[in-house]
Each structure stands twice: as C-alpha cells, then as structure tokens.
C-alpha cells in the first residue's frame, strides 16, 4: 500500500509530502502502520532512500487520550482506532490537523484549546448542581479528549480567536449543570464564543471519537438563555 | 512567593499543583503533553474509599488491613493509615470539584467489589474513572492557572535534577518545541512522572511512562525502592498494537474466569479459593492463570445487556472496537501482562526523597502498595501523595539559594545538539526494542536466578553500547538522551529481583518459592559511581 505523509521537520521549516510503501499486516490500525514504517526496519521512502522517522503523538493506543488525532484520507480521526480494513482505496494519505501549528510531522500544538477554556473561566468552583441535571450527558461530556477533531472539521472554527467550537459548548454545559450559580455568566460566554456563530452543521458530532452529543449541550444551553 | 516545579501532569501532578496553589505556593506544572494524554485517563475501574454510608461491617481499619495484607506487609504502615483515613475526604473533594461519579439512588457514589478487598468500597465513574477525575482536576487547575498560581508548560521533558550541596534546586528541562535545554530553579521539585512501562515495551498503560526520570535520578544519587515488585494484571487482551486491559471492574461485577477441559468449563479460581476466587489479589490470579498453562477466558455475558451497558460501557466498546468481540454475548480470552509498578523512587512519609527538596508522588514513587497493589488504591494514592507533598512544601521555609545554572543549561544544550548531528548505525529505538524483549523474557511472572543473571548480562551489553553510539537524528532528542537512564533503571530492577531470594507478592522465584521472614522488608537500591548496592530496609528508614 502506498502511504503519503505530509511531513514537517520543525515549527520553523516548510512542510513536504513523502511517500512510503507499507507491506505490513492488513488488520493494523493507522497507528500500527506508522509504527511499522518507523521501526520495522530502517525507515526508507518509496524509492528506497533513507529518511527520518515519522513524528506522531500517542499515549494510550486505545482511543482514550486523543493524542493521535490526525487527518487520514481527508477525515479527521484517531489513528489508533482507525483500521486499515475500513479505509477505501489502495493509497493512504496522512497529514497533521490543519487548524493547529505543527511542531513536528503529525504532532501539532493544541494548547489553544486549553487557553480558550482558561480565558473564559471554564471551571466549576463550588459544586451546586442544577435541579434535574442530566447525569448521563454530564458523564459523556466529561469524557471529551480535547483531541480537536471537532475543531478540525468545523466550518466555523478558524484558529480559536473568537469562536471556540464544540469543546467549549460541551464544557459550558458541564459547568452550568454542576454549578447553578455560574449559569448566567457561562450562558453569556457560551453565546459570544459559540452559540451566536454556530451554523449547526454538526459535523463535529460525526467525527467525535467519544460520540458526544454536542447537539444536546447546545439545546440545553439555548434553553438557559434568559 | 514560594515556587515549586512539578514534573508530570497526571492525577498525582495535578493534585499536587492544585494543593500547592490552594496554599499560596506557585506551581510550574510541566509535561510534554497535556493532562488529557497522561496514563491517568486510562484508569477504568475505580478508586477506593470507606465512606460514611459504607457496606455494613466495613471500616477504615479494614481498608488499611486489606492494603497492607494485599502488599504482603511491605507497604509503609503509617503512610497507608494516612492514605485510608483521608480517602473519604478525597472522594468528597473530587465530588465537589465536579467529578461525575456513578451514583446510587441516594446520590452517593456507587461502589463495586475489587480484588483483595473485604468489602465493596471501590467508588467509580462507569468504567472511565480516571478520565472523569482528570477532567475535574484539569478544570480545577484551570481556576488557579487563570489566577497565575499554576503555570503550565507543554513540550517540556525532564532532563536531569539540579542538585547542589545535597539539595535539589530545580531541574534541567528539554523543550521539544524550541529544542533547547533550560534550567528551571525552584524551592522544591516534585516528580510525578508515572510508571516504568517502556522498560517492557508496550504494556497496558501509556507509552509516555518510560521510567527515564527515575533512572536518571537514580544515577544522580536518588534511592529507589522495591523495584522487583511489578504487577502483572491477570486480565488483558492482545490487540493489533498493544496488550489492552480488561478492567478488574468486570470481575467486580461478577465476571468469572475459566478454562475448558474436554469441552467442560473449569472455574479454576472458584474451585480453589471459593466464591470470591475471581477477586483474589492480582498477583495470585496472574500466577494461577500462568499455572493453568492453557487459554483462559473471562465471562460476564450472563449479565443483562442493560447492566453491562450501565456499568461497563467502555469495556464493551473497547472489546468490540479492537477485538470484534461482544462481551454481552461471549467470553473474553485473557492473559496476564505488565500493568503497574509497586516499586519506584524511595520516599519518606512526607514524599521527600533522600535528596532534600526533591519529592516524588504517584506511580513513580514507592510507598503504599508494598509487594502488590490493590486495584483502586493507585488513584487514591496518586491524589493523597500529591496532597501530602504539597502540604509539606507549603509548611516549610523557602531556602535562600543563589545558584546560576544558565551556563550549565547552555553547555548541555550545545552537547545534545552536537550529538544529534552525528549519524548512528545502531538506532536507539532498536536498543529499546531489545531491552523490552530482555525484560519480558527474563523478568516474567515466575523468575529464577539463572534467568535473571542472563538478563543482567544483556543489559550490561546494551549499556556498554549505549555509551558509545552516536545519537540517532531520525528520532527526537529525548529518545536519545533518555536511553541510558532507562537502561540503568532496568539494570536496577533486575538487580533487586536477584537480591530478593524469596517469593513475596508479585515477586515469585521458582528457585526460592517460600516467603523468608528475614527478608520481610523493602529493598532499597543505590547507585554509587556505577556500582549498584541493594539493602533491605530493616530500620524502616523510609517509613518516617
Ligand atoms: C489501563 C489502566 C487501568 C487502570 N485502572 C486503575 C483503576 O481503576 N484504579 C486505580 O486506582 N488505578 C488504575 N490504574 C493505575 C493508575 O492509572 C496509575 O497508577 C495512575 O494514574 C498514575 O498516575 P500518575 O499521576 O502517577 O502518573 P501518570 O498519569 O502516568 O502521569 C505521568 C505524567 O508524567 C509525564 N511524564 C512522563 N515522563 C516525563 C518526562 N520525562 N518529563 C516530563 N514529564 C513526563 C507524563 O506526560 C504524564 O503527564 C490503571 C492503569 C492502567 C494502565
Ligand atoms: S468533543 Fe469529541 S471531537 Fe471534540 S475534542 Fe472532545 S472528544 Fe474530541
Ligand atoms: S493514542 Fe490515545 S487516542 Fe490514540
């Protein structure tokens, strides 16, 4: 299988495509494939020329840490839970998430996610749950990996300057459900950094590895208006 | 204001940083990646605590007893007493900062049975307990970040400790984004870098836990403890890329282990140990599976699908995704695999190491779990350890010191970069692969002197190569400079396993299968100019 990878040696250098030939097991994941290219033997490109090992981020290798988020065949996904058998075509293209600065190859700097949540005071403070809060949805929302796949696919998210994306909407719900005192403040922030600009394409939900129902957070937050 | 440098942002590092901030101590929290990537998010089954509304008959005393007995009485008794006594406070705290626990009809955290425990006292959040706790701690830390009391630095990796006159003054850190080494000075330094997984290659845990920090500190004079005690989790499954854990929660919810003999299911744990046989401690269950010598399965399919989806949704999803197997319909093929490190950096009850102002907390430290850890006690000890260190640091006078380490950082940076410009014919990752092969082969569930000695010879060879080879520019600098520390740690582990000529907890020697009362002490290893010296802590130096 031909594998095209968009590479970049450091934040200070230009990106370039490099091609590889993968002859490893067919039941692998994309993470397993990268590992195989990197460490099965010396790493060479498709012409047999020696090259550097492909940089990528991983930790859990079981879809629960969000580290390995990347774009595979134009779809933002977690590499460690994307199986080759589920991909179509004889060629595979892999590139880093586009909406974040590249550190090295497929490793990107997603700190803007955390920065935006920090700027907008997304923390619970004193636990004062709202009446009738939806425990199941809170549980689901708290599983957000902060992987950024939803931001990558979102037509409204650019670089996090003003629109903060699905991650923010979900965390706003979590905070307002767990501390009713903050509800008003959070609802305002929600509208200015999410609600007012979201065009409801809901592509975020299609790619979310945790299957978080962002639409439920949106509905609950909108109900809190006024 | 006092400042503390915390290395590692999993549950232990986060808890320590927040506790420091609460007491007005400024914390710099460093890690290569954010907390969401730490191994802590993988913890599934739960966290132990005896709450006010506990099962009838349960008590803090019983939790202490179970913990000490489970660890074959090598855990620090006073420390374990502190841990179990504050467990309820920890759960209430976690609730208050917004952890989404599974709750019973009265609103109290639900509890499940876990191995080696006399009562149901494992509080849980479905089967994603660690993730739910990390999410809550990250939010709470954010509050102090906004107030300037916690500063996070990503892309930062530990390089070495700055030790002068027997005190730790901070650390050299390597920054992956700038590719430079920088000196960070602090009144106190806390290491919270997790377990030693990479020594064994891919384990159930995170690839980020590599043991380098413990290895490097050891080379700088820090004592390590109980390294021979490595927990094999009895129930893991093979996937394309790793051995994946099947949480003990499955057995906690009633899961049964069996093998088949002439088409008949043999529930070997129940046959040997009675109705609670499946929930014996992990060392016992792993050895029994090993002794069975055939394919072993874990069955939970007798539960209603609805119950599985309520209590074990993540386990069902993982098995479906990675094995195409539905646990609601069929049994899970399981085998033991390396999972947790009871040993690590030796610390006193206040979590300080033998070097003043240097602390270790969480899985990288060794204190509570003795020769075998009970499931659900690790998350608890990560938080408790983080708090204990923070409280100690806040209560101490800040040292007045004036050292300038910038020259040292410059020199180390230049040396690293010049080594990176060389070409290696012996890539560092190959040595790491060979290392994990050696460790898996020579330090299994059952050990003996000849095998361990072989293992030591292998590591000595890798060490002799590692010192000579050039760096491999095809991988990140961290992978290069961390190699010697990881190898040195591996050698220390094997040396401790050789020294303990008895069987206890997770350390089983087929050539000395009995417990030996004269060795009923923690092992402590020191590095003395290349010489590895092991002693048994008969004076309980590390208990106070
Ligand atoms: C699959 C699985 C399930 C588990 N389930 C449970 C359970 O149900 N209950 C329970 O009590 N325990 C459980 N455990 C154990 C528990 O998760 C860990 O022991 C605990 O989370 C350790 O927390 P920690 O903060 O010490 O380390 P970690 O969470 O591993 O964090 C380590 C941190 O250090 C950083 N780091 C590492 N090396 C460096 C370096 N060189 N420089 C800078 N930073 C570095 C990492 O990036 C990370 O931020 C489980 C473990 C696994 C693997
Ligand atoms: S909402 Fe889903 S896609 Fe977005 S960061 Fe969280 S887990 Fe990832
Ligand atoms: S490595 Fe953790 S999600 Fe893929």
The DSSP secondary structure of chain A, one letter per residue, reads: -EEEEEE-SSTTS--EEEEEE--S-TT-BHHHHHHHHHHSSS-B-TTS-B-PPPP---SSSSSSS-TTEEEETTEEEEGGG-BGGGS-SSEEEEE--TTS-EEETTEE--HHHHHHHHHTT----S-BPPTT--HHHHHHHTT-----HHHHH-SS-SSSSS---HHHHHHHHHHHHHBGGGHHHHHHHHIIIIITT-----HHHHH-TT---HHHHHHHHHHT--
- Which positions in chain B touch A42 (Cβ < 8 Å)? 427
How far is residue B94 from each of residues B43, B136, B262, measured CA to CA in Å? 15, 7, 50
Report the C-alpha gap between A186 and B329 in whole angstroms: 44
- Average pLDDT of chain A to the nearest whole number: 93
Is the residue at B437 inside a domain? yes
Instruction: Spell out the residues 6+ positions from residue B18 whose beta carbon is closer than 8 angstroms to its own.
Output: B137, B140, B141, B144, B150, B386
- The set of protein residues with a Cβ atom below 6 angstroms from ligand 1 is B 7-13, 31-33, 38-40, 42-47, 129-130, 157-158, 192-194, 204-206, 208-209, 212-213, 245, 340, 362-363, 375-379, 382
- CA B45 / ligand 2 centre spacing (Å): 23
Domains delineated in chain A: 2-108 (3.10.20.30), 111-222 (1.10.1060.10)
pLDDT level of residue A225 (50, 70, 90 thresholds): low
- Of B310, B336, B362, the one marking the end of a domain is B336
Q: State the residue range of the domain holding B241.
A: 234-336
Q: Quick one: which ligand is closest to B171's CA?
A: 1
Full pLDDT tens readout for chain B, 544 residues: 899 999 999 999 999 999 999 999 999 999 999 999 999 999 999 999 999 999 999 999 999 999 999 999 999 899 999 999 999 999 999 999 999 999 999 999 999 999 999 999 999 999 899 999 999 999 999 999 999 999 999 999 999 999 999 999 999 999 988 889 999 999 999 999 999 999 999 899 999 999 999 999 999 999 999 999 999 999 999 988 899 999 999 999 999 999 999 999 999 999 999 999 999 999 999 999 999 999 999 999 999 999 999 889 989 999 999 999 999 999 999 999 999 999 999 999 999 999 999 999 999 999 999 999 999 999 999 999 999 999 999 999 877 777 899 999 999 999 888 888 776 666 788 899 999 999 999 999 999 999 999 999 999 999 998 877 777 777 888 999 999 999 999 999 999 999 999 999 999 999 999 999 999 999 999 998 889 999 999 999 997 5
C-alpha B281: how far from its chain's center?
A: 17
**Residues B422 and B324 both lie in one domain:** no
How far is residue B327 from each of residues A140, B43, B271, B309, B312, measured CA to CA in Å? 21, 19, 23, 10, 10
Q: Is the pLDDT of residue A44 over 50?
A: yes
CA proximity to A110, closest of B35, B11, B476: B35
Chain A: closest CA distance from residue B425 (Å): 10
Report the C-alpha gap between B92 and B76 in whole angstroms: 25
Chain A: closest CA distance from residue B271 (Å): 34
Residue A5 buriedness (CB in 10 A; 0-12 / 13-18 / 19+): buried
Cβ atoms of residues B159 and B481 within 8 Å: yes
User: Does B251 participate in catalysis according to the annotation?
Assistant: no
Is the residue at B493 inside a domain? yes
| A79-123 pLDDT tens trace | 999 999 999 888 999 999 999 999 999 999 999 999 999 998 888
DSSP string covering B378-443, please?
A: HHHHHHHHHHHHHHHHHHSPPP------HHHHHHHHHHHHHHHTS--SS-HHHHHHHHHHHHHHHS
Is the residue at B110 inside a domain? no
The per-residue b/e assignment along B242-258, b for 16 or more CB within 10 angstroms, e otherwise, is bbbbbbbbbbbbebbbb
DSSP B282: H
Report the C-alpha gap between B142 and B33 in whole angstroms: 16
How far is residue B490 from each of residues A59, B368, B444, B496, measured CA to CA in Å? 21, 22, 14, 10
- Output the pLDDT for position B527: 97
Cβ atoms of residues B87 and B122 within 8 Å: no
What's B321's domain CATH number? 3.90.700.10
Report the C-alpha gap between A223 and A115 in whole angstroms: 27
- Of B336, B363, B390, the one marking the end of a domain is B336
Which of A174-183, A197-206, B496-505 comes out lowest in average pLDDT?
A: A174-183
Instruction: Spell out the residues 6+ positions from residue B486 whose beta carbon is closer than 8 angstroms to its own.
Output: B198, B199, B210, B211, B212, B215, B432, B435
Pairing of strands B3-7, B26-30: parallel
Within 13 Å of residue B254, how many CA atoms lie on the same side as its CB?
A: 9
Is the residue at B41 inside a domain? no
- Output the pLDDT for position B482: 95
Beta bridge partners of A17: A6
How far is residue A76 from each of residues A58, B41, B320, measured CA to CA in Å? 15, 22, 21
Could you tell me the two tokens for B385?
A: 């350890």
Report the C-alpha gap between B464 and B468 in whole angstroms: 7
Averaged pLDDT, A129-144: 88
- Calculate helix-pair angle for B77-85, B60-70, nearest 10 degrees: 140
What's B463's domain CATH number? 1.20.58.100
**Residues B424 and B323 both lie in one domain:** no
Domain count, chain B: 2
| B177-198 pLDDT tens trace | 888 999 999 999 999 999 999 9
Q: Is B21 helix (H, G, I), strand (E, B) or coil?
A: helix
pTM of the model: 0.97
- Output the pLDDT for position B410: 95
**Whether A165 contacts chain B with CB within 8 A:** no
- Output the pLDDT for position B466: 86
| B377-421 pLDDT tens trace | 999 999 999 999 999 999 998 777 778 999 999 999 998 888 887
**Residues B422 and B330 both lie in one domain:** no
Report the C-alpha gap between B364 and A108 in whole angstroms: 28
Is the residue at B244 inside a domain? yes
- Which positions in chain B touch A179 (Cβ < 8 Å)? 98
CB contact under 8 A, A28 and B125: no
- Which positions in chain A touch B131 (Cβ < 8 Å)? 64, 142-143
Cβ atoms of residues A176 and A130 within 8 Å: yes
| B109-144 pLDDT tens trace | 999 999 999 999 999 999 899 999 999 999 999 999
ipTM of the complex as predicted: 0.96
Is the residue at B291 inside a domain? yes
How far is residue A82 from each of residues A17, A73, A86, A180, B321, measured CA to CA in Å? 21, 11, 7, 39, 10
Cβ atoms of residues B32 and B89 within 8 Å: no
Q: Is B505 helix (H, G, I), strand (E, B) or coil?
A: coil
Report the C-alpha gap between B124 and B141 in whole angstroms: 22
Is the residue at B328 inside a domain? yes
Beta carbons within 10 angstroms of residue B380's beta carbon: 26
- Of B319, B336, B353, the one marking the end of a domain is B336
Report the C-alpha gap between A92 and A90 in whole angstroms: 7
pLDDT level of residue A226 (50, 70, 90 thresholds): very low
Cβ atoms of residues B484 and B471 within 8 Å: no
Cβ atoms of residues A103 and B73 within 8 Å: no
Pairing of strands B531-536, B523-528: antiparallel
Cβ atoms of residues B81 and B174 within 8 Å: no
CA proximity to B343, closest of B514, B161, B211, B189: B211
Cβ atoms of residues B93 and B86 within 8 Å: no
In chain B, residues 339-398 whose CB comes closer than 8 Å to chain A = none
- Calculate helix-pair angle for B87-96, B77-85, nearest 10 degrees: 40
Report the C-alpha gap between B75 and B78 in whole angstroms: 9
Instruction: Spell out the residues 6+ positions from residue A122 whose beta carbon is closer than 8 angstroms to its own.
Output: A168, A171, A172, A175, A186, B139, B142
**Whether A108 contacts chain B with CB within 8 A:** no
Report the C-alpha gap between B39 and B42 in whole angstroms: 5
B-chain residue closest to A127, CA distance: B96
In chain B, residues 194-253 whose CB comes closer than 8 Å to chain A = 202, 206-208, 239-242, 244
Instruction: Spell out the residues 6+ positions from residue A117 whose beta carbon is closer than 8 angstroms to its own.
Output: A164, A167, A168, A171, B142
**Whether A114 contacts chain B with CB within 8 A:** yes
Q: Quick one: which ligand is closest to B351's CA?
A: 1
Is the residue at B174 inside a domain? no
């Amino acid at each position: 299988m031909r594998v095209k990878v968009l590479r970049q040696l450091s934040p200070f250098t230009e990106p370039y495509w490099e091609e590889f030939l993968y002859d490893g097991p067919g039941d692998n994941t994309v993470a397993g494939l990268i590992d195989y290219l990197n460490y099965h033997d010396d790493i060479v490109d498709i012409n047999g020329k020696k090259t550097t090992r492909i940089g990528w981020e991983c930790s859990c290798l079981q879809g629960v840490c969000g580290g390995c988020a990347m774009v595979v065949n134009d779809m933002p996904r977690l590499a460690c839970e994307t199986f080759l058998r589920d991909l179509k075509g004889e060629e595979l293209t892999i590139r880093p998430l586009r909406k974040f600065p590249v550190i090295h190859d497929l490793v990107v700097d997603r700190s803007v996610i955390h920065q935006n949540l920090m700027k907008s005071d997304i923390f619970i403070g004193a636990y004062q749950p709202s009446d009738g809060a939806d425990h199941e949805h809170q549980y689901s929302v708290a599983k957000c990996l902060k992987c950024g796949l939803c931001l990558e696919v979102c037509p409204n998210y650019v670089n996090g300057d003003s629109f903060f994306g699905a991650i923010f909407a979900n965390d706003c719900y979590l905070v307002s459900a767990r501390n009713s005192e903050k509800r008003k403040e959070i609802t305002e922030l929600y509208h200015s950094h999410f609600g007012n600009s979201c065009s409801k394409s809901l592509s975020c939900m299609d790619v979310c590895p945790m299957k978080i129902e962002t639409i439920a957070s949106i509905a609950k937050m909108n109900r809190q208006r006024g | 204001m006092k400042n503390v440098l915390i290395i590692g942002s999993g549950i232990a590092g986060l808890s320590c940083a927040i506790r420091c901030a609460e007491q007005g101590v400024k914390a710099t929290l460093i890690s290569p990646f954010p907390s969401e990537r730490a191994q802590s998010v993988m913890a599934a089954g739960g966290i132990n605590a005896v709450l006010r509304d506990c099962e009838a008959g349960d008590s803090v005393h019983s939790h202490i007893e179970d913990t000490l007995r489970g660890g074959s009485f090598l855990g620090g008794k006073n420390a374990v007493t502190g841990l179990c006594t504050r467990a309820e406070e920890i759960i209430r705290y976690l609730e208050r900062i917004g952890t989404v626990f599974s709750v019973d009809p009265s609103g109290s955290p639900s509890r499940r049975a876990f191995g080696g425990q006399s009562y149901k006292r494992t509080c849980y959040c479905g089967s994603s307990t660690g993730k739910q706790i990390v999410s809550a701690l990250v939010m709470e830390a954010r509050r102090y970040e906004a107030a300037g009391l916690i500063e996070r630095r990503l892309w930062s990796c530990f390089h070495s400790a700055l030790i002068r006159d027997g005190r730790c003054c901070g650390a050299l850190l390597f920054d992956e984004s700038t590719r430079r080494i920088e000196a960070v000075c602090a009144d106190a330094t806390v290491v919270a870098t997790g377990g030693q997984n990479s020594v064994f290659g891919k384990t159930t845990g995170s690839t980020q836990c590599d043991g380098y920090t413990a290895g490097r500190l050891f080379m700088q004079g820090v004592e390590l403890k109980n390294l021979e005690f490595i927990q094999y989790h009895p129930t893991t499954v093979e996937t394309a890329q790793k051995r994946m854990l099947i949480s003990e929660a499955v057995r906690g919810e009633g899961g049964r282990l069996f093998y088949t003999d002439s088409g008949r299911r043999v529930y070997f744990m129940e046959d040997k140990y009675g109705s609670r046989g499946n929930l014996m401690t992990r060392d016992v269950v792993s050895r029994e599976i090993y002794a069975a010598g055939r394919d072993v399965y874990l069955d939970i399919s007798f539960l209603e699908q609805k119950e599985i989806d309520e209590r074990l949704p993540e386990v069902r999803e993982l098995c479906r995704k990675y094995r195409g197997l539905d646990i609601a319909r069929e049994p899970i093929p399981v085998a033991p695999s390396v999972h947790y490190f009871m040993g690590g950096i030796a610390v006193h009850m206040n979590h300080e190491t033998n070097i003043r102002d240097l602390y270790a907390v969480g899985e990288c430290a060794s204190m509570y779990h003795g020769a075998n850890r009970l499931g659900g006690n690790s998350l608890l000890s990560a938080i408790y350890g983080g708090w204990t260190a923070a409280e100690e640091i806040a209560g101490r006078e800040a040292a007045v010191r004036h050292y300038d380490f910038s020259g040292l950082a410059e020199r180390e940076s230049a040396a690293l970069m010049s080594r990176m410009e060389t070409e290696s014919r012996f890539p560092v990752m190959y040595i790491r692969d060979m290392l994990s092969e050696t460790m898996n082969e020579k330090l299994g569930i059952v050990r003996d002197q000849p095998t361990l000695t072989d293992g030591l010879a292998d590591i000595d060879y890798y060490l002799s190569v590692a010192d000579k080879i050039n760096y491999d520019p095809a991988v990140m600098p961290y992978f290069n400079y961390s190699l010697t520390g990881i190898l040195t740690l591996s050698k220390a582990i094997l040396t401790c396993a050789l020294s303990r000529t008895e069987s206890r907890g997770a350390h089983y020697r087929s050539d000395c299968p009995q417990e030996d009362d004269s060795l009923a002490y923690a092992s402590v290893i020191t590095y003395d100019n290349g010489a590895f010296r092991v002693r048994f802590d008969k004076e309980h130096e590390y208990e106070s």
